[in-house]
Structure 1
Amino acid sequence: MNRFKFKDLATSLTTLIFLVVGISGVMLYFKIFNGQVKELHEILGLLFVAAVVLHLVANWKPMKSYFKKKIFIRVSLIVVVISAIFIFQSANIGNDPKGLVLKSVVDAPIKSSLEVLGVDYESAKLKLTKENIQNVDANSIGDIAKANSASPFKIIAIITAK
């Protein structure tokens, strides 16, 4: 009977989670099942980091000598430089347009936001009241969310539900 080996577990987890994160990353890039895949990709991405740490711990002795190789150092530098370029480039672009639109809808006067969402004021008030949302006469969706310790997304979901 084979004995359970920590190294085998760490390597198996790292490999399998890498495959799922890699495939889901490609799916996100090409916008295939975007909504369904995003959460899976994010959560497994976190688990992948943990699996890699386990893999490094389990294989520390052979990894130490690998980290000293010139090729590892060169590739590491290339990855750091490319990552820095992407990070600094995206930081210089300015505000995220989606974020600006969302913030505008959340912070705008409630009647303006409802018009953008295609919902009439009385219908929105009724839906919010049915869900036990307080302060439905607030100035904005953001104010309603704050008054109820809720996410603005939750308020928008209630308002736009059929």
Structure 2
Amino acid sequence: METYAYTADRSARLVLSGWKTDALVYSSVGGKIYAERYAKRGGFISLFEDYGWVKATVEAMSVTVVFQGLLPGAVPALRSQTDGGPSRHVSEVSYWAVGLGVKVDMVGGSIAPGGVILPNPGPALGPANVDVRGLLVRGSGLIDGQRLTCDEIVVGDFIRFT
């Protein structure tokens, strides 16, 4: 799944993607953001040149992925992780595993509307290695002085608890 955010003149864009893949021998979860510019793509000795989207380094970008699972007793569990910084062309947060499902260390909590992460109201539970059931991916960046934010992506069984 992908979403896009364009500069005002549509000459550059951010591409945000999120995924949860469960194959028999390999599983992965994560989110990635990268930047592209609409520019001339090279051909052989100026033959077959055309215009299209090419990878580009921009002033700054970041991606945040909120992984969600359930602790015993159906207690919601979360882990939020961010990657990003200045002068980048890509930022990514991902995990993979051999076999079905990816486990990530999470703590009890929930996410409210507006993206606010709330602690679990019950007794404090330490981190636990939990199967990732869903994820929420957010990304933004700075291109040519313009702050761009992609629409967030929900993957799998991500539930906003309140």
Give the TM-score normalised by the residue count of structure 1: 0.22
- Between Structure 1 and Structure 2, the one with more strand by share is 2
Considering fraction of residues, name the structure with more helix. 1
Q: Which has the higher contact order (CA 8 A, sep 6+)?
A: 2
Bigger Rg over Cα: 1
TM (norm. structure 2) is 0.22
